[in-house]
Amino acid sequence: MPSFTDKLKNPFPDLRNQLKDTHLYDAKVGAIHFKNKVGKFGNIINANHRHDEEHEKATDDKRTKVAESHRFESFAPERDGNKIKWYVDGQDYFYAVSVALENAKETIYIEDWWMSPELFLRRPPYYNQEWRLDQVLKRRAEAGVKIYVIVYKEVAQAISCNSAHTKHALHALCPEGTPGHGNITVMRHPDHNVFENAGDMTFYWAHHEKFIVIDYALAFIGGLDLCFGRWDNRQHPCADVHPAGVANEMFPGQDFNNNRIMDFQTVEDWKSNELSKADYGRMPWHDVAMGVIGDCVYDIAEHFVLRWNFVKRDKYKRNAGFDWLTMEGREGENEDLIAVQRPKHPVGEYIHHPLTPCETKPWAHDHPGTVHAQVVRSSADWSSGILTEHSIQNAYSEVIRNAQHFVYIENQFFITATGEEQAPIHNTIGRAIVDACVRAGKEGRKFRVIIVIPAIPGFAGDLRDDAAMGTRAIMDYQYKSIHRGEHSIFGQIEKEGVNPRDHVFIFNLRSYDRLNKTPAMVKQEEKSGVKYQDVQRAQAEEIMGEGIHNATDENSKGKDSSGQEERERLIDLKRRFEASREDAGLANDNVPSADSVAQTAMLNGGKVSEQKWEGDLEDEKGNFVQEELYIHGKLLIVDDRIVICGSSNINDRSQMGIHDSELSIVMEDYDVLESTMDGAPFKAGRHAATLRRLLWREHLGLLPAQPLDASKDSNAQPPDVCMNDPMEGPEYEFVADPMSDQVWDLWTGNATKNTEVFRHLFRADPDDNIKTFDDYEAFLPRHNKFKQGHLHDPFMPAEEVRQKLDQIKGHLVWMPLDFLKDAPMAEKGLQVNAYTESIYT
């Protein structure tokens, strides 16, 4: 019986026999004639079509030898002297990206899973409209900068990111006859058209990398796509209704999202959003990324050029609008390493980068850095036209296996194996964790693996619904990876006579806030006759609806005067609503409630019980909301010395190479930070230690809330402007020793108290009290008339609610390891079977 991988390679097994009966197949030569629009059907018969000719075999051999000579069998060597800066959460990262893009001189490369042209890189959007991503790129294109973008071409029936909109919107920024025309080029890949891509169909796999290269001098790499839903700051607000006025909104249109309640809808219609900010909270977003200066930038650029040329050859080779890219240092005999096999009659030009050698660029390498780093990737034939590389998995496994003190992981998923018994899961990270824990346990050494992942994967729906079977399947695989069954990480550690609960600890993050559906706002709705949801739509329309690309955006074709009339109608509704402020008692000098109370979980953020609320506190109760704080970063920190950060999740999709394509970077700082480890003097790497300290302080509530003005924040600048400010002080020193009993007591204590409060007030699920589906109904009845994320008990006294919320510090909660442990989480059937298993893992 053919394997799942075989079926993916040949999704149409009977097609060859069928073609024998048609004029397309020539039995004498055993090949398919490419007639009319039949395209690449020959690839079905020859699945090895990219690796069977002599020059292709020679290139494969050369790449293999290069990789074998490098650590982790990566395409890239280890590089010294890099300056690398960390970014925690979207506010700092997007601001730094906006500065770097604005300063681009020659070239910009962008690779994303999803890219939203209407993304605001600085907030509030109303006051920063020139910092919308498409506006920034338009300015750079008009200044002569060449911009190259690769985005994942999604399966539209399954994913709503609409890469076609991204492509058309960006191409339309500089129409023919205007400055910058032709300076922005966007590719989408893979091609899901069977006539164009037969034999290479990749319905299930995605291009998942997220990185930017600017002028071959600076790169950004990490977990953050340039798309809706990712901007956030360290207090992670859920609310976005502002008593001072709608112009202060932070999340316009679809950027206000809670995809636990409703996934993104028709994202090309950026004003469209069915969640009212007056009734629901957003799902906050936690992420990590890096800014890089140094030789590793060249390796990141090389990966982009490889991918660009592969997509050009695979999909656009007859399109003169897409050029080939060549690189300094990759000419002549090494040119094939970046997939430029020059056709005799090429369609498109050969563009050489960098235009100016890096060593002569004043903005490039002004001061050498101290970080030893290496770029690693997951890539294969379908994604890059190369033999499979899984150097990310090699790096994760080796670094974890060699850990001496602690392993700290933040990741969107945690699906891994300890051996072949856990098929269909095959990545080896779980075995590395087992080996590290068993070695420490037998040596009697204090050793911790701390894993922070989302409570629920970010898919909409009640976990009890049949439609949530796929989400439950992912959770089931995670639980089996961690502790359920003899082949789980816990099971394998225990088998060696070591107690896994002494070493492995799993956490989630949660955030709470207060919506601002105040009595005055309700009165304002009544006075104006306008619902706030229409106001938020109007606000999005005003700052996003007249995009500079609208005239030629494919999604806007046919937009006639009725569209303009709708725009004017919405904006008129907003004006009516705001004109009623004074009648509703909301004069500018009379704004009684804060925009958000999320800061109360942070350092010096005050207490919820001390927050002003207009009117009766009983009316306030219905405004309190909670949501899981979605962990999206793909981060590993080991022993305060080594960091791996990039786009790679911990699952087979990201780690095996043959599935999703990924790019990450391994970093070790040679700048020593004198520290302690379990009370003993310890030489930490500055980059790893300062990043870990800031993350732990954020999760513990030992950092102050972040102001919106990032212009004076050194952590919101690219690394060529300044390096990280670790925000030193008593809290910085408190978390300095990651194995300190005092730190661990606070970490576990906060997680325990926060878990108890979220359970008591909101019945936040999943929960350890839910062991069966009957338990689920008792814990959180389906007939509960209150909206998702709101208080569970409407009769709880208002003061008690406030006092309970006062007890929450930071965002840590325990992961409920007993959730549905006595229930079949994901029964085999139509949604979970041999074909879908590798999608979920």
Establish whether the linkage from the previous residue to 707 is cis, with ω within 30° of 0: no
**Minimal CA–CA distance to 59: which of 351, 340, 315?**
340
Helix (H) or strand (E) holding 779: helix 773-779
pLDDT of residue 40: 59
For residue 10, pLDDT beyond 60: no
For residue 551, pLDDT beyond 80: no
Backbone angles phi, psi at 592, to 5 degrees: -80, -30
Q: Hey, which bits of 281-421 come out as E strands?
A: 285-286, 288-293, 324-327, 350-353, 371-379, 389-390, 406-410
**For 46-75, how does the pLDDT look when each residue is reduced to its tens digit (9 = 90+)?**
778 889 889 889 999 999 999 999 999 999
Q: Is 624 helix (H, G, I), strand (E, B) or coil?
A: strand
CB 635 within 8 A of CB 613: no
Q: Is 797 helix (H, G, I), strand (E, B) or coil?
A: coil
Once rounded to an integer, what is the mean pLDDT over residues 312-318? 89
pLDDT of residue 272: 63
Alpha-carbon torsion angle 408, 413, 414, 419, nearest 10 = -130
For residue 575, pLDDT beyond 50: yes
Q: What is d(CA 497, CA 438) in angstroms, rounded to the nearest whole number?
A: 8
**For 660-713, how does the pLDDT look when each residue is reduced to its tens digit (9 = 90+)?**
999 999 999 999 999 999 999 999 999 999 999 999 999 999 999 999 999 999
Helix (H) or strand (E) holding 88: strand 79-88
Q: Residue 548's pLDDT band (boundaries 50, 70, 90)?
A: very low
Q: What is d(CA 806, CA 218) in angstroms, rounded to the nearest whole number?
A: 43
Cα end-to-end distance, the chain, whole Å = 22
pLDDT of residue 34: 37
Question: What are the Cα distances from residue 180, in Å, to 237, 599, 732?
Answer: 38, 43, 47
pLDDT of residue 43: 67
Q: Residue 546's pLDDT band (boundaries 50, 70, 90)?
A: low
pLDDT of residue 506: 98
For residue 26, pLDDT beyond 70: no
Q: What is d(CA 87, CA 106) in angstroms, rounded to the nearest whole number?
A: 25
Token duo for residue 347: 């369609």
pLDDT of residue 593: 82
**Minimal CA–CA distance to 144: which of 174, 112, 168?**
174
Token duo for residue 559: 């937009």
Lowest mean pLDDT segment, chosen from 209-218, 512-521, 660-669? 512-521
Q: What is d(CA 508, CA 456) in angstroms, rounded to the nearest whole number?
A: 9
For residue 753, pLDDT beyond 80: yes
**For 374-396, how does the pLDDT look when each residue is reduced to its tens digit (9 = 90+)?**
999 999 999 999 999 999 999 99
For residue 165, pLDDT beyond 60: yes
CB 461 within 8 A of CB 405: no
Locate the domains of the chain by residue range.
Answer: 4-47, 78-230+295-364, 373-513+630-704+723-814
For residue 16, pLDDT beyond 50: no
Q: Which long-range contacts (CB under 8 A, 24 or more apart) does 769-778 make?
A: 770/816, 770/819, 770/820, 771/818, 771/819, 771/820, 771/821, 771/822, 771/823, 772/820, 772/822, 772/823, 773/464, 773/820, 773/823, 776/463, 776/464, 776/820, 777/464
Q: What is d(CA 797, CA 7) in angstroms, rounded to the nearest whole number?
A: 59
pLDDT of residue 559: 47
For residue 18, pLDDT beyond 60: no
Owner of token pair 């950060």: 645
Q: Residue 9's pLDDT band (boundaries 50, 70, 90)?
A: very low
- The dihedral sign for the CA sequence 12, 17, 21, 23: positive
**For 700-712, how does the pLDDT look when each residue is reduced to its tens digit (9 = 90+)?**
999 999 999 999 9
Q: What is the DSSP letter of 400?
A: H
**Minimal CA–CA distance to 657: which of 464, 441, 376?**
376
Q: Residue 785's pLDDT band (boundaries 50, 70, 90)?
A: low
For residue 587, pLDDT beyond 70: no
Average pLDDT, the chain: 88
Task: Tell which wins on pLDDT, 284 or 20.
Answer: 284
For residue 583, pLDDT beyond 60: yes
Q: Residue 23's pLDDT band (boundaries 50, 70, 90)?
A: very low
Specify which residues 350 forms β-bridges with.
Answer: 324
CB 418 within 8 A of CB 404: no
CATH number among 3.40.50.920, 3.30.572.10, 3.30.870.10, 1.10.3720.10, domain 78-230+295-364: 3.30.870.10
**For 230-247, how does the pLDDT look when each residue is reduced to its tens digit (9 = 90+)?**
999 999 999 999 888 889
Owner of token pair 């824990």: 437
Ramachandran bin of 39, using left for φ above 0, alpha for ψ from -120 to 50, beta for the remaining angles: left
Q: What is d(CA 633, CA 2) in angstroms, rounded to the nearest whole number?
A: 36
Lowest mean pLDDT segment, chosen from 131-140, 176-185, 317-326, 388-397? 317-326
Q: Residue 586's pLDDT band (boundaries 50, 70, 90)?
A: low
pLDDT of residue 464: 92
Q: Confirm or reject CATH 3.30.870.10 for domain 373-513+630-704+723-814, answering yes or no.
A: yes
**For 415-425, how does the pLDDT look when each residue is reduced to its tens digit (9 = 90+)?**
999 999 998 99
Q: Residue 364's pLDDT band (boundaries 50, 70, 90)?
A: low
Question: What are the Cα distances from residue 67, in Å, to 64, 308, 321?
Answer: 5, 21, 33
pLDDT of residue 614: 84
Task: Tell which wins on pLDDT, 428 or 245.
Answer: 428
Q: Residue 362's pLDDT band (boundaries 50, 70, 90)?
A: low
Once rounded to an integer, what is the mean pLDDT over residues 541-546? 78
pLDDT of residue 44: 65
Q: How far is CA 238 from the centre of its chain?
A: 18
**Minimal CA–CA distance to 94: which of 281, 349, 291?**
291
SS3 letters for 485-552? CCCCHHHHHHHCCCCHHHCEEEEEEEEEEECCCCHHHHHHHHHHCCCHHHHHHHHHHHHHHCCCCCCC
Topology match between the domains 78-230+295-364 and 373-513+630-704+723-814: yes
Question: What are the Cα distances from residue 213, in Å, to 131, 190, 774?
Answer: 19, 22, 52
For residue 13, pLDDT beyond 70: no
pLDDT of residue 356: 86
In one letter, which amino acid is 466?
Answer: D
pLDDT of residue 588: 54
Token duo for residue 521: 């706002």
Tell me the DSSP string of 252-297. Answer: -GGGS-BTTTB----TTSTT---S-TTT-----EE-EEEEEESHHH
Tell me the DSSP string of 131-146. Answer: GBHHHHHHHHHHTT-E
**Cβ neighbours of 355 (radius 10 Å):** 14
Establish whether the linkage from the previous residue to 794 is cis, with ω within 30° of 0: no
CB 121 within 8 A of CB 127: no
Lowest mean pLDDT segment, chosen from 72-76, 260-264, 634-638, 739-743? 260-264
Q: Residue 268's pLDDT band (boundaries 50, 70, 90)?
A: confident
**For 476-508, how does the pLDDT look when each residue is reduced to its tens digit (9 = 90+)?**
999 999 999 999 999 999 999 999 999 999 999
Angle made by CA atoms 734, 446, 430, in degrees to the nearest 5: 105
Alpha-carbon torsion angle 202, 208, 214, 216, nearest 10 = -70
Q: Is 808 helix (H, G, I), strand (E, B) or coil?
A: coil
**Cβ neighbours of 582 (radius 10 Å):** 13
For residue 93, pLDDT beyond 90: yes
Backbone angles phi, psi at 223, to 5 degrees: -100, 0
Question: What are the Cα distances from residue 132, in Å, to 221, 392, 485?
Answer: 20, 33, 49
CB 591 within 8 A of CB 243: yes
Q: What is the DSSP letter of 120?
A: B
**Cβ neighbours of 654 (radius 10 Å):** 29
pLDDT of residue 328: 85
Question: What are the Cα distances from residue 163, in Å, to 81, 205, 221, 634?
Answer: 37, 15, 20, 23
Token duo for residue 304: 């982009």
Specify which residues 377 forms β-bridges with.
Answer: 663
Once rounded to an integer, what is the mean pLDDT over residues 449-471? 90
**Cβ neighbours of 822 (radius 10 Å):** 11
